[in-house]
Amino acid sequence: MPAKLIRRVLLPALLLLVVGWGLGAYCETNDDVAIMQLLRGTSAATPVTDLHLYFHGLGAALSWLYQVAPAVPWYALLLYGLLYAATVGAFTFLDRLLLGRLPGPWIAGLLTLFFLVAWLEHGFWFSYVRVPLLLAGVGVLTAAQRPASRVALALGLLAFGLGWLIRPSAAVLGLLAAAPGAWWLGGRRALPMLGGAAVVAIAGALWLNLTWSPATATFRRLDVRKSNLLDFQLYQPTIGLSPADSLGLAAARHWLLADSTLVNERLFDRAAPLPTPAYFLRTLAPAKLRLALPQLLRDYFPLLLLLAASGWLLAAATGRPRGFWLVQALFAGLVLALAAVLKLPPRLALPLLDIWLLGNLAAVLPVAGRRAPWVLLGALALVAGPYAYKTAHRAAVLGQERQHNQLARQQLGWLTRQRGSAASQLIVSDAFEATGKSESPFAVGPLLPGHYSGTSRPEARYMPVAGWLTLHPSQAAWRRQLTGTRHFPESLRRLASRPGVAWILTPETAAIINRQLARPAGPRVRLVPILPRALPLQGARIQARNARTGAARAYEMRGNTAQ
């Protein structure tokens, strides 16, 4: 096999496998676990084929695959396969830039260091948001690198299209980040790739807006408003709320989003409106930047050093591409804007910095002389040691978090089993969702205490009462199937008389749900914490500790449960 193919195809596969074996893989948030539960049908009436906001078309294929072979981690395999494709694209892009400037073995060494310093986190700290940004950015750059090749153009558009299907906004961000590098590479000859990607994005957006149902459109708007409040703290506090709005805001702050009579667009307009420009610039932006910028320096100092090195190399070069320093200023402004608005989470920060760096190298390496690759190699070697130490520390922290969450799931499973037979049980809970963070994306059914037994569903069914997925249209449909009503409080009242229902809740959530159950006609039923009848010593310790720490406990509905 030619040395180029070894560096471009086999080396990325080997590095991904070695890192996965040595460090493992950890979900950055619980979003991926929640998506897997919907696709499996674990937390819905039937397996969900349309996630509405992401995985357009791909969700149906994944859901079908889970029905055919539920023990296979299809979601992780798809995303890691696409991550491998993006990695191959990045290695191919760099290899072409370095050919003739470094001997082959040294190119392989530089690519390896680049992966370990600037790319490793993508596979190690798993998030579906990383993949579309990388796919789109790398696809645009590799196509612009060979502007006369129709095959390269087709592959670039395919990569962007797949990224857009997974998460449109992330793919568009990748396109914007790659556009300067594509222009420096191909000039006007890059326009077919840039224009084609823009056409795909615009046509896709029009298609979504024309085909979305009213329920989907409402879900999208509420998801944005929820994220502004809970994820990005992008709101301006108000005073003088009514009792209903106070309850709705308390429910939203605890991710209890299912009661549409309380948590709706009107609530966000009244209780958590978007900030005025003055309030944002005076209060919100400085507070977020104080948190995000030190974290950016601490976590991504290798990329910042490499970006600085690319600027230094270009400053010393005889020729330079037009607009280079303006582009650097725009990138810096984009990073600051994302930090001030979105707090620049890792799943956005590193992919964006990677695409920025690749574009810079496309501008620098052709004009900076033969010493430039050696300077980059030296910079990579300089930061490899400190970054390896930081990565090992992060792996240890994430491993501890995974163990803690797995223990918490065992305890939740023990509480659940005290409430009846798992084979016919419905678990109503807000506690399992949080334990998905740092779980392996290759785990099968990681949230539930039951096991998969030759079917696509675990022995226990799980109805979440908290989290973003409670806004998904499938949840209201499931409540209607189970209880005959979509209305959240009334569906809980009706579940109170149903056998085989386990209520596993945190005290804060139980208190808010009790307030919801009391509206509008008074507390017909109420959640009351209970102590299982036959408590083994371990169970007694768990229950006592939960009572002290405010962790999840077993509840039951008491009161008039007549239908």
Residue range 153-169: mean pLDDT, rounded: 97
Q: Is 1 exposed, middle or buried (0-12, 13-18, 19+ CB in 10 A)?
A: exposed
Name the least confident of 209-218, 355-364, 410-419.
Answer: 410-419
Going by pLDDT thresholds of 50, 70 and 90, the confidence category of residue 560 is: low
What phi and psi, each to the nearest 5 degrees, are found at residue 529? -65, 145
pLDDT at 107 (0 to 100): 96
d(CA 185, CA 193): 12
pLDDT of residue 363: 93
Specify whether the CB–CB gap between 181 and 321 falls below 8 A: no
Query: Using H for helix, E for strand and C for coil, what is the string for 94-137?
Result: HHHHHECCECHHHHHHHHHHHHHHHCHHHHHEECCCHHHHHHHH
Percent of the chain with pLDDT over 90: 76
Residues whose CB is less than 8 angstroms from the CB of residue 336 and which lie 6 or more positions away in sequence, other chains included: 289
Backbone dihedral region for residue 187 (phi beyond 0: left; psi -120 to 50: alpha; all else: beta): left
Q: What is the mean pLDDT of residues 536-547?
A: 49
Question: Does the structure show a pLDDT above 70 at 272?
Answer: yes
* Listed ranges 173-177, 406-410, 516-520; the one with the highest mean pLDDT: 173-177
On whether the CB atoms of residues 255 and 230 are closer than 8 A, the answer is yes
Tokens of 300: 């991504």
Residues 116-130 pLDDT 10s: 999 999 999 999 999
Coil/strand/helix, residue 85: helix
Chain CA centroid to CA 179, Å: 24
Under the banding of pLDDT at 50, 70 and 90, the label for residue 519 is: confident
For residues 148 and 363, give the distance between their C-alpha atoms in angstroms, rounded to a whole number.
19
Q: How far is the C-alpha of 377 from the C-alpha of 395, rounded, in Å?
A: 25
**End-to-end alpha carbon distance in the chain:** 72
Ranges assigned E (strand) in 430-511: 461-464, 501-505
Residue located via tokens 């707090």: 343
pLDDT band at 543 (very low <50, low <70, confident <90, very high): low
Amino acid symbol at 462: Y
Reference 19, options 126, 95, 159; nearest CA is: 126
Measured CA to CA, the distance from residue 205 to residue 200 in angstroms comes to 8
Read off the pLDDT of residues 418-470 as tens digits, 9 standing for 90 and up. Answer: 665 444 478 899 998 888 899 999 986 545 544 333 344 445 688 999 999 99
List the single range of 49-58, 103-112, 200-209, 532-541 with lowest mean pLDDT.
532-541
| pLDDT value at residue 135 | 98
Q: What is the pLDDT of residues 279-337, one digit of tens each?
A: 999 999 999 999 999 999 999 999 999 999 999 998 877 767 788 999 999 999 999 99
DSSP string for residues in 320-367: --TTHHHHHHHHHHHHHHHHHHH---HHHHHHHHHHHHHHHHHHHTTT
DSSP 434: G
10 Å CB burial of residue 384 (0-12, 13-18, 19+) is middle
* 415 in Cβ contact with 407 (< 8 Å): no
Rg (C-alpha) for the chain, rounded Å, is 26
CA distance 313 to 95: 19
| Res 547: pLDDT | 47
CB count within 10 Å of CB 50 equals 17
- pLDDT band with cut points at 50, 70 and 90 for residue 530: confident
Angle (CA) 201-207-212 rounded to 5° is 125
Confidence band (pLDDT; 50, 70, 90) for 35?
Answer: very high
Q: What is the mean pLDDT of residues 144-150?
A: 94
Tell me the three-class secondary structure of 168-231, residue by residue. HHHHHHHHHHHHHHHHHHHHHHHHHHHHHHHHHHHHHHHHHHHHCCHHHHHHHHHHHHHHHHHC
Say whether pLDDT at 537 is over 70: no
pLDDT, average across residues 498-511: 90
Residue-level pLDDT at 420: 53
| Contacts of the segment 230-233: beta carbons below 8 A, 24+ positions apart | 230/255, 231/342, 231/343, 232/341, 232/342, 232/343, 233/284, 233/288, 233/343
pLDDT at position 522 is 59
**Residue type for 195, please?**
G
- The Cα–Cα gap between 464 and 467 comes to 7
Tokens representing 271 are 């209780």
Average pLDDT over residues 178-199: 95
Report whether pLDDT(561) > 50: yes
Q: Does 533 have pLDDT greater than 70?
A: no
Q: Give the mean pLDDT of 45-66.
A: 95
Mean pLDDT taken over the chain: 89
Give yes or no for a contact between 441 and 27, defined as CB atoms under 8 angstroms apart. Answer: yes
Number of other CB atoms surrounding residue 91 within 10 Å: 25
Task: Give me the phi and psi of 493, to 5 degrees please.
Answer: -60, -40
Looking from the CA of 358 toward its CB, the CA atoms found within 13 Å total 37
pLDDT in tens, 349-391: 999 999 999 999 999 998 888 889 999 999 999 999 999 999 9
